[in-house]
Amino acid sequence: MKSVLDQLREMTTVVADTGDIAAVKRYAPVDCTTNPSLVLAALTDPASEDMIAQEMEAGRKAGLTAGEQADKLTVALGAELTKVVPGRVSTEADARLSFDTDASIARGRAIIADYAERGIGKDRVLIKLASTWEGIRAAEVLQDEGIDCNLTLLFAMAQAVACADAGAFLISPFVGRITDWYKKAQGVDGFAPDQDPGVQSVRQIYDYYKSNGIDTVVMGASFRNTDQIKALAGCDNLTISPKLLDALGQENADLPRALSPDKASGMAKVTMDEATFRWEMNADAMATEKLAEGIRNFDADHQKLLKVIGDRM
């Protein structure tokens, strides 16, 4: 019998939630990602030692600041990853830009320009932005310029609707972080897969998109266990950590398809303007708290990266 991972690959695009080049080679995902925490890991990864040394030396000669060097390293790692995956590398914009549309647009363009200097076309890259109102508006502009975006830190239907309206290429609803919030709020140890609030959120978004012919890719992210992944088998994309990829690869059992476009319920399309978006986010304590926490944590990782780079420089 095929492993659960092999069966999953037949119905879902599997993305590696890691920037570890050795792990990416081992699991052979279609796409992968970079972010400050993954660049931090690369700084101590022997497999990335030569690339890091070259980038740091070039940065010193160019007189780059720690922030500019961090941006260069992020793209350099992404460039290395394009050599081992056939698809896209999601490359994160600085979390501090999450509420600045113009700065997010400028950063997205700069990332694409840096990749282009390394001989990598924009068709291999996704610009990763937080699903704030401002981030979504930045994605709308970038998409119109042919620069595809991954809207991350997505916890609510309001965000998913706004991202679809903006023509975002891909969204990353965070399953595990939603589950974490509800476990704490309800004082429970866990949920059965079908009752898991994180799983239910992605299923609802997927249903809305497929019911309305929305092309935006739904990529479930932030998984806590393999049961959550199995409960979303058939989702467009799923981004999975090496630990959970290992577990799925070692399990031999039948994997039924949980999501399929032809099973869409026919949900009605809704309108999402800024006032409605902000009201619905305000009304959703989980989404508001997890979005803010996610941006803070991304920034904390970025600050750690800046310190390590500053020390090395």
pLDDT-derived band at 92 (thresholds 50, 70, 90) equals very high
Percent of the chain with pLDDT over 90: 78
Percent of the chain with pLDDT over 70: 100
Confidence of residue 102 (pLDDT cuts 50, 70, 90): very high
Q: What is the pLDDT of residues 138-195, one digit of tens each?
A: 999 999 999 999 999 999 999 999 999 999 999 999 999 999 999 999 999 999 999 9
Lowest-pLDDT choice from 44-48, 200-204, 241-245: 44-48
Looking at residue 192, what is its pLDDT? 97
> Interior CA angle at 245 toward 243 and 251, to 5°?
105
The residues carrying an active-site annotation are 128
Around Cβ 252, how many Cβ atoms within 10 Å?
11
Residue 264 Cα distances to 10, 214, 258, 261, angstroms? 20, 12, 12, 6
Residues 6 or more apart in contact with residue 247 via CB below 8 angstroms = 226
Residues 288, 243, 123: CA angle, nearest 5 degrees:
70
pLDDT of residue 43: 77
Distance of CA 113 to the CA centre of its chain: 21
Using the predicted structure, report yes or no on whether residue 52 has a pLDDT greater than 90: no
pLDDT of residue 25: 85
User: Residue 38 pLDDT more than 80?
Assistant: no
Query: Could you tell me the pLDDT band of residue 312, with boundaries at 50, 70 and 90?
Result: confident
Mean pLDDT over all residues of the chain? Answer: 94
204 pLDDT higher than 80: yes
Residue at 196: amino acid letter: D
Q: Where residue 73 sits, what CATH number does that domain have? A: 3.20.20.70
* Tokens matching residue 107: 């950063």
Higher pLDDT: 203 or 22? It is 203
DSSP class of residue 174 equals: B
pLDDT tens digits, 57-72 = 888 889 999 889 989 9
Asked if residue 51 lies in contact with residue 312, where contact means CB atoms within 8 angstroms, the answer is no
Q: Structural domain tally of the chain?
A: 1
pLDDT in tens, 103-153: 999 999 999 999 999 999 999 999 999 999 999 999 999 999 999 999 999
pLDDT at 42 over 80: no
Dihedral class, residue 213 (left if φ above 0, else alpha if ψ from -120 to 50, else beta): left
Q: Where do runs of H (alpha helix) occur along 90-174?
A: 101-117, 133-144, 157-165
**Residue with the larger pLDDT of the pair 243 and 45:** 243
Tell me the CA distances in angstroms from 91 to 112, 181, 244, 282, one per residue in order.
Answer: 10, 27, 22, 28
Which structural domain, as residue segments, surrounds residue 22?
Answer: 4-312
Q: Which of 9-13, 25-29, 100-104 has the lowest mean pLDDT?
A: 25-29
Residue 47, pLDDT above cutoff 80: no
Q: Is the pLDDT of residue 44 over 80?
A: no
